[in-house]
Structure 1
Amino acid sequence: MKTIYLISLFLLVFMAGCKNDAPRYVIGVSQCSDDSWRHKMNGEIEREAMFYDGVAVEIRSAHDDNAKQREDIRYFIDKKVDLLIVTPNEAAPITPVVEEAFDEGIPVIVVDRKILSDKYTAFMGADNYEIGREVGKYLAAKLGGKGNVVELTGLSGSTPAMERHQGFMSAISAYPDIHLLAKADAAWERDPGRVIMDSLLRIYPRIDAVYSHNDRIAPGAFEAADQLGRADDIVFVGIDALPGKGNGVELVLDSVLDATFIYPTNGDKVVQLAMDILNMQPFPRETIMETAIVDPVNAPVMKLQTAHIADLDNKIETLNGRIGGYLSRYATQQVVLYGSLLVLLLVAGLLLVVYKSLRSKNRLNIELSKQKAQLEEQRDQLSEQRDQLIQLSHQLEEATHAKLVFFTNISHDFRTPLTLVADPVEQLLADKCLSGDQHRLLLLVQRNVNILLRLVNQILDFRKYENGKMEYSPVSVDLLQCFENWNEAFQAAILKKHIHFSFESEPHTDYHTSADIEKLERIYYNLLSNAFKFTPENGKVAVSLSPFEKEGQAFFRFTVANTGSLISAEHIRSIFDRFYKIDMHHSGSGIGLALVKAFVEIHGGTIRVESDERQGTVFTVELPANKGQSDIVPPSSEVSIPSNLPADLTEEEGEMEQGYDSNRMSVLIIDDNADIRSYIHGLLSAEYAVIEAADGAEGIRKAMKFVPDLIISDVMMPGIDGIECCRRLKSELQTCHIPVILLTACSLDEQRIQGYDGGADSYISKPFNSQLLMARIRNLIDSHQRLKQFFGDRQTLAKEDICELDKDFVEKFKMLVEERMGDSGLNVEDLGREMGLSRVQLYRKLKSLTNYAPNELLRMARLKRGASLLASSGMTVAEIAYEVGFTSPSYFTKCYKEQFGESPTDFLKRKGK
């Protein structure tokens, strides 16, 4: 590991040494055009930038196009350059985009030409107004104070053109005999200057001087005059004075121009100013470059100087190229050196790895020898354990057989007393003298006796199947007709839970087959009843029947699918095992699906189950299409509900709150077993208003809606069980005060502890004694009724008898009433809104806690405050009435007398005595 670490570290160092250094600063240059003056300035910028480490310069030319220059500047903004140098083509079109760059935080140096804004960092350029004045003074002297002049300007929208014209006009205004014949826009170029000058020469017979705004316009004007033979009579003046062939100095020497004025490029000074800005050094915001005249007198000297400077520039560029070559060779040699070192290091590392591998191999050989001995010893132990497991397997098989024999025997023993119970119950039900309650209780007994018989029969049937004694009596049946008739038995469950049920089959198909009609019926009913049982309200149950072929044999396939239930992969593997239950929250014996699988296999078929969150759970049964039996048994037209259909699916749901009386004490019963709910309802209906809920979720909703005086809940329920239901109710403000009794068939102390931890007030085990249940209900309700007064003078809440939520609720209500007592418009809706409850919820909550309605409590609080003010202040009765929120003194007096037995006036008289 150390070797690999060192190699990785060296690679990082190598990569860091070989990578190109990123520039420290990037400077963007936006030039308005691509003339010789700009070329000279760009060369000076690039040469000067070489003297600064880590500075990269990118130059873009707009070629006298405003739109192109705007694109160039936005390109630099997007690139996030560190500084922007701009020579605007025209002021007005370029100003907004320069401002945009400045607002983005990019320093901006405006060079040569100005913009129509102060949003720039610095400006560098000549004083164009002063240059114009110098030209004017020179021509006035040259012409002896009189003559006709033509002015050929640069681009009219650029600031140099405007300022040079203004300076020129300022100078010649002192000479009334000098006349400006024409002013024309030559766009800084030679060809437009030639064309315009040709036109002017044909218009004006006498032109004494031509003032060109740069040295490119001036030669064009001279060429036009020369072609017409008038060049010798005209004085030509330009601006720029650049060295080199075809530029201003050469034009003076060639007698094309009489004079030109220096307009310095100063690209090196622009870069120096940029570095001062980037390095946060002091810098001038306005830098004005000096100008001077170049005429035939000083032009030769200028030429010599500029030639010498150009020679030096060439030498600098040559040296720069050589330095670049040296640096390139140095970088190559550095890469070769690092590569060689890396190869050496890798070789050394490989040698070290090989050495360590050899040592590890020797060590492993020794360890493997030891492990081989240990494995041989473990093999002998495993052989011994295998023999023990075989013996234990035989013992377990014998024990399982003994258990099944025991279940079979005890099941036979159960059948006799159940038969003796069932027959007398049927005889009693035939008695016409029974009262309604007696008849209902006997029906309840009969239904549950049948359930017990079904469970006993399932055990006996499964025992027969395991012993190979299960009888198979096939007859010819029509699967489609059977299924359609059996579906009728589930109409009550469909209506009760608002389930969307669908049955599909392929039309024009013969569904006749040979099957044991009784076992087939039990397969179908067991799967469909489970589907309805575990499908939530408004869910979907779908059955489909279709033929198919498998290995050349005809088969029928039917599927039972339901939404809302999910069986994990772990449980799917064992769901058809005998006595297997998914968890404690799913009721049932755990033998139903095992028996279904047995019946399917008797028919030579297969059954499987699939489950996921999207489609729910799907049971698929495939049965061979055996058509050898000729005796056809038609399905019964009268559909009877088989004994294996759960009782809670056979009951039609009536209006649960039918006859609910809000003036009576109310009890909410939460249980998934309809018979239990019906039985407890019958016990309580004489004394209490009873509300029913078939599961925990419905129970929570109805508890929040009705705020009952007591809740009875079963513990074992699908979905939200009783313990979780209790915990949620005790954590809600609207229901935390309600006593909860939990019913359970499990007597484990651990479950009782969970229930009490969840906030349960009592625990009663099934089967329960009705008198015990009634006594416990009365006791809890009576205890709760003792919490009546919370605004009385001598009664206060017993703080140990109410939950923390209720304490906070009471304190909040007291504070709210005290704060808003003087508001005569305060009502129950306002109080409920402030407390976060509806008007009905607030009424039921306060009525349950204090035995008073919210309006009564508000009136009592106002009267108590009024009594206190009567006793301790000098206020009048009317002032006190309005102070505590009564709408009139007379109503205050009436309520006060009803509460305290005397009027406020009588109290004041008694107080005065």
Structure 2
Amino acid sequence: MIISSCGNDVSEEEYKIGFSQAMTTDNWRREMNKAMRVESSMHPGLKLEIKDAGNHIAKQITQIDEFIKEEVDVLIVSPIQSIPITPAIEKAMNAGIPVIIIDRKIEGRNFTAYVGADNMEIGRNAAKYIISHSKGEAGIIEITGQEGSSPAYERSIGFKNTLDSVPGLKISHSIKGDWEKASIKDQLSTHLDSVEAPDYIFAHNDRMAMGAWEVARSKSLEDEISIIGVDGLFGPNGGIQMVKDGLLDATLLYPTGGAEAIKLAEELLRGESVNKYNILRTVVIDSVNVDIMQNQFDKLNQQQNDIEQQQAVIDEQIKTYNTQSDLIKLMLVLLGLLLLLSIWAIYLVVKIKKSKRKLEIKNQKIITQRNQIEDFAEKLKISNESKINFFTALSHEFKTPLTLITSSIESISDKSKSELKGISYETNLIINNSKRLLRLINELLDFRKLESGSFNIKPARTKISAFLENIVNDFRAEAVKRSIKLDFCSENKELEVYIDRDMVDKVFFNILSNAFKFTPKNGNIKVSIQEDNENVNIIFRDSGIGIPKEEFKRIFDPYKQGSNNVKPSSGLGLFISKQFVELHKGEISVSSHQGAEFRISFPKGKAHFKDVEILEIDADFQPSNFHQLSDPVVPQEEPINKDLDENAETVLIIEDNTDLSYVLKKKLSTEYHVYLSDGTDGIEKAFEIVPDVIICDLNLPGKTGFEICRELKNDLRTSHIPTIILTALDDKESRLKALKAGADTYITKPFNYEILRESLKSALYNREKLRYYYTNRIDEVRDENFENAEQNFLKDLNAIIDENLRDPDFSVEELAGKLNISRVQLYRKVKALLGVSISEYISTQRLNKARNLLQQSDMNISEIAYEVGYSSPGYFSTSFKNKFGISPKQLKS
């Protein structure tokens, strides 16, 4: 009931009235706007919006379009000019919006109502005033309003027609203004300088009349000329005050019509009929009635101010009422919510009691399950520990046979060179790779100890410069082998730190190994020792591929490696190094700028080691034998196998591991001509050599094996070459990717040499079968339906040969040029596909064409010889008989 009573106020329907005002640069139009606002405030259901066109026709048209889109209920327009605004008014009428024209008219009658004074009547009244005050003769100047404006036109017509009734009263001169006094001053001043001053000046509004008075005063003619204006506004700058002050002789009251327009709009909205033309009354104001008019306007103005104040008070009271009404409604809503919440709280209390009981039962089940999980976890821990112990034991088991292998091979390598007879390279490979396996196993064991927390640090006083220099010297031979500049410098040779030498030896060796792994030939590696007040800093800087900035922190995580690292790695080395450094309470960090820089900091002194036994004797430390690099053995170029046929097949090996590539070359050189590439120039060498088979690794510097295989298979010069992928990647995705790239065979490392050897023979055998197909089924090769690059190549080859068959001077160089390959590449490709030289193939095509012509055409032997490109019929006959065992004449007959 309370809500109903509070909401019992009757809300009137709201209507929107749009008013496009021509301009607001003068007081008359501001008074019009004011009158509209006051009148609309008297009608609470009306909402008035005024837009000022600023005396711009295009802007007023745009404003009218905006009001049409807003679907105002009534449109009021004060046109700037009649003709341009007419289409916009008609558009509003067609949209069903009533249009009221105020002050100025438009072309035609397509509007709802017009409100304004009779401008012709104003012109006539001005003329009548002059007639009544003149003696039958007088000089008159007319100052008109803006050209194209209906008030200016109508006032001028009414003024002239009335003056024409008196012969002695003529308009001596007419000045065109734009309703502002500045527009007529120069013209009037010039005119007054050249002629006798007129008796009267009629200006179409008070502003231009004031301008005329200012010009007359400047020429001391203000007492000789009577000036009449139009508007009769009330106020300090209005026409009534000008008449009272004696500046104007008279002004004609021109009502704004603002209030009347709003009243008409209100009547239209109520559905009442209104007059088409609503003419406002006008009157002449001169010295006789100026005081009366001013008093009337004073009263009207006071009444209007009172109305505005009362309206403001009413608006404030309505606002207060609405606020209080909204507050009461809000309180009632909150009261209702409070009641609902109370009911909800009672419901929750009941529900919580039930839920509590369920939770107690469920909690008991969870406790039981937790106990079961703990039992299972304990069993799982025992099982996992057993597996880890097995892994650790197995790793230790690896070390024994590896040690035996290494020891045996070292014993062999100690023999004289004459006894080794060429196996020193292989023994060195076995030694190096055995050491590498042992280092990997040691990494796994260290990782296991770090995970289980069983590493016990044993720090000893150590001269860090000599300690690190010994490790650096182990890499000198590798640096010479790879043309890498290796520098070591230390500021203080006697600088001592407390370190676990075995741990730190592994850290330094790991960092240096990585530097050599990623530094190219002719690069630089610099190791330096610096100190500050608290730390000893060891810096390793190389000119290698560097590490992406966003991976600086992740590079020390286990199993992680840089995204730009394509070389296989366990991902444990840097993790173990970081853990070892942190066990020394030190820090390790990395930065990258034209290479990588690792910085290791160890605290000075021994205060940071607590509850740890420290060795104070600085004994010489000998790193593990497996942490030293073997002296490199540069593989010697194998002597040329004189027993190998010069036409034997060629094999290109693209492999970045120098040792593996040389081992393969040594084994394959007994049967094939072998060429090597480290991956940086694999594609270029394939184009240059055009081998019979390519063996390619996947992880290569620059382009991967997938990319190399794809490029070679998509190139005309090498698309026929079978490719064998040789890689350590054994996953399904890599195999599938390699086959999609065009690989013929996929072999994983470690591999059996016999499998590789048989794969090579199989690839060459399959190529030989294709060659047989191409050479014995040439006619089918001419078919339009081809499915591979080789058949497309032969199709293009045959087409070019057919086009130039009649040309006896057609050469192999021209044929290669048309195929966009070199003469050598064309020779090798045709030889690989067809087993014959390109010259032999062209000759065969000529003779096959000749045989067809002999059997199917009426041409004689000489004509056929010239048709297939032979310049001599005799030579043609000889070649034909050598090819087919029968002369052309015998076949023709």
Partner residue, 1:371? 362
2:333 to 336, 339, 342: 342
Is the 2:15–2:47 contact (alpha carbons within 8 Å) kept by the matching residues of 1? yes
Distance of aligned partners of 1:779 and 1:841 in 2 relative to their CA distance in 1, 3 Å threshold: same
After superposition, the Cα gap between the structure-2 partners of 1:687 and 1:317, relative to the gap in structure 1 and judged at 3 Å, is: farther
**Contact 1:127/1:288 (8 A) holds in 2:** no
Shift of 1:495: 4.8
Q: CA deviation at 1:33?
A: 1.7
Q: Encode CA deviations 1:730-751: one digit per residue, 9 max, x unaligned.
A: 8856676542223356888998
Q: How does 1:615-630 map to 2 (within 5 A)?
A: 618=598, 620=600, 622=602
Q: Per-residue deviation at 1:248? A: 6.5
In structure 2, what is the equivalent of residue 794 of structure 1? 779
User: Which residue matches 2:428?
Assistant: 446
Equivalent residue for 1:779?
Answer: 762
Query: In structure 2, what is the Cα distance between the partners aligned to 1:221 and 1:581?
Result: 91
Q: Distance in 1 between matches of 2:221 and 2:439?
A: 134
Residue 147 of structure 1 and its aligned partner are, at CA, apart by: 2.7
How many pairs align?
807
Q: 1:328 and 2:319 equivalent?
A: yes
Offset of residue 676 of structure 1? 0.9
Task: Check whether the contact 2:142–2:175 (CA below 8 A) recurs between aligned residues.
Answer: yes
Q: Residue by residue, what CA displacement relative to the aligned partner does 1:686-736 show, whole Å, maximum 9, x if unpaired? A: 7766554546x87578768977553323467799876x5588558856676
Distance 2:76 2:594 in 1: 63
2:531 paired with 1:547: yes
Q: Provide the C-alpha distance between the structure 2 equivalents of 1:445 and 1:395, rounded to a whole number of angstroms.
A: 38
Residues 423, 266 of structure 1: alpha-carbon distance in 2 compared, 3 angstrom cutoff: same
| Contact 2:557-2:575 within 8 A present in 1 as well | no
In the other structure, the counterpart of 2:200 is 209
Counterpart for residue 527 of structure 1 = 511
Q: Any conservation in 1 of the 2:530–2:537 contact (CA below 8 Å)?
A: yes
Alpha-carbon spacing, 1:549–1:368, altered in 2? closer, same or farther (3 Å): farther
SS of structure 1 residue aligned to 2:781 = coil
* Offset, 1:39: 1.4
Q: For residues 130 and 558 of structure 1, do their structure 2 counterparts lie closer, same or farther at Cα, with a shift above 3 Å needed?
A: same
**Is 1:539–1:564's contact at 8 Å kept on the other side of the alignment?**
no
In 2: Cα distance, 1:701 partner to 1:771 partner: 29
* Alpha-carbon distance in structure 2 between the residues aligned to 1:623 and 1:254: 102
Task: Name the CA distance, whole Å, in 1 between partners of 2:460 and 2:349.
Answer: 75
1:432-464 superposed Cα distances (whole Å, 9 cap, x missing partner) = xx9xxx64x532332333432564588689989
Deviations 1:351-393 (A, max 9, x none): 2442343234213321331133224424543564466467547
User: More displaced, 131-140 or 346-355?
Assistant: 131-140
The one-letter code matched in structure 2 to 1:40 is M
| CA displacement at 1:346 relative to structure 2 | 3.0
Opposite residue 756 of structure 2, the aligned amino acid is: L
AA of the residue aligned to 1:445: T
Cα pair 1:667 1:709 within 8 Å, conserved: yes
CA distance in 2, matches of 1:419, 1:817: 66
2:333 partner letter: L
1:478 maps to which residue? 465
Quickly say closer, same or farther: Cα 1:170–1:204, change in 2 above 3 A: same
Q: Give the alignment partner of residue 739 of structure 1, picking from 708, 722, 743.
A: 722
Q: Is the 8 A contact 1:545 1:559 kept in 2?
A: no
1:233/1:345 Cα in 2 relative to 1: closer, same or farther (>3 Å)?
same
Of residues 57, 60, 68, the one that matches 2:49 is 57
Mapped to 1, the partners of 2:239 and 2:579 lie a distance apart of: 112
Map 1:374-773 onto structure 2 (within 5 A): 374-378=365-369, 380-381=371-372, 384-385=375-376, 388=379, 392=383, 395=386, 399=390, 402-403=393-394, 406-408=397-399, 411=400, 413-416=401-404, 418-427=406-415, 429-430=417-418, 439=422, 442-453=424-435, 455-456=437-438, 476=463, 478-479=465-466, 482=470, 485=473, 488-489=476-477, 491=479, 495=483, 507=491, 510-511=494-495, 523-534=507-518, 543-548=527-532, 555-559=536-540, 563-564=546-547, 572-574=556-558, 587=568, 608=588, 618=598, 620=600, 622=602, 644=627, 667-684=651-668, 690=674, 692-694=676-678, 709-714=692-697, 724=706, 738-744=721-727, 759-764=742-747, 766=749, 768=751, 770=753, 772-773=755-756
Over residues 566-620 of structure 1, what are the superposed CA-to-partner deviations in whole Å (9 max), with x where a residue is unaligned? Answer: 87978844469xxx99999864678877987899799x67675669999978473
CA deviations 1:158-179 (Å, max 9, x no partner) are 9987997899789989999656
Determine what percentage of the aligned residue pairs are the same residue. 21
CA RMSD of aligned residues (A): 7.9
Matched letter for residue 357 of structure 1: L
Shift in Å at residue 675 of structure 1? 0.8
- The residue identity in structure 2 corresponding to 1:371 is K
Alignment CA distance shift 1:175-1:56 (3 Å): closer
**Deviations for 1:174-225, whole angstroms, at most 9, x for unmatched residues?**
9996566677799867999999999999998774322223245557878999
Tell me the distance in 1 between the aligned counterparts of 2:257 and 2:120: 18
- 3-state SS in 2 of match to 1:711: strand
Residues 1:360 and 1:168: Cα distance change in structure 2 (over 3 Å): same
Letter in 1 for 2:531: P
Give the aligned residue type for 1:742. Answer: I
Matching residue's letter, 2:479: Q
Q: Is the 8 A contact 1:150 1:181 kept in 2?
A: yes
1:458–1:591 CA contact under 8 A, matched in 2: no
C-alpha displacement of 1:157: 12
Aligned partners of 1:303 and 1:865: how far apart in 2?
Answer: 124
Cα distance change, pair 597–495 in 1 and its aligned pair in 2 (3 A): same
Instruction: Answer yes or no: is the 8 Å Cα contact 1:726–1:759 preserved in 2.
Output: no
Mapped contact 1:726–1:760 kept (Cα < 8 A): no
Does 2:346 match 1:355?
A: yes
Task: Give the whole-Å Cα distance in 2 for the aligned partners of 1:521 and 1:373.
Answer: 56
Partner Cα distance (2:216, 2:135) in 1: 22
Cα separation, 1, equivalents of 2:488 and 2:260? 91
Q: Which amino acid aligns with 1:674?
A: T
Distance 1:310 1:350 in 2: 59
Structure 1 residue ranges without an equivalent (≥5): 1-16, 99-106, 116-120, 276-286, 655-661, 877-888, 903-908
Does 2:11 correspond to 1:31?
no
Aligned equivalent of 1:905:
none
In structure 2, the gaps of 5 or more residues are 1-8, 89-96, 267-275, 607-613, 638-645, 860-864, 881-888
TM-score normalised to the size of structure 2? 0.61
**Separation in 1, partners of 2:236, 2:507:** 109
SS of corresponding position for 1:31: coil
Q: Secondary structure at the match of 2:779?
A: coil
Contact 1:28 1:59 in 2 (8 A): yes
Question: 1: CA distance between counterparts of 2:183 and 2:766?
Answer: 110
CA contact (8 A) 1:41 1:266 kept: no
Cα deviation 1:311-338 (Å, max 9, x = unaligned)? 9989997897687467535633552244
Preserved CA contact (<8 Å) 2:122 2:282: no
**Structure 1 pair 691/333, CA: closer, same or farther in 2 (3 Å)?**
farther
Native 8 Å contact 1:476 1:630 kept in 2: no
Does residue 147 of structure 1 match 2:138?
A: yes
- 1:104 aligns with none
1:406 CA drift (Å): 2.9
The alpha-carbon deviation at position 674 of structure 1 amounts to 1.3
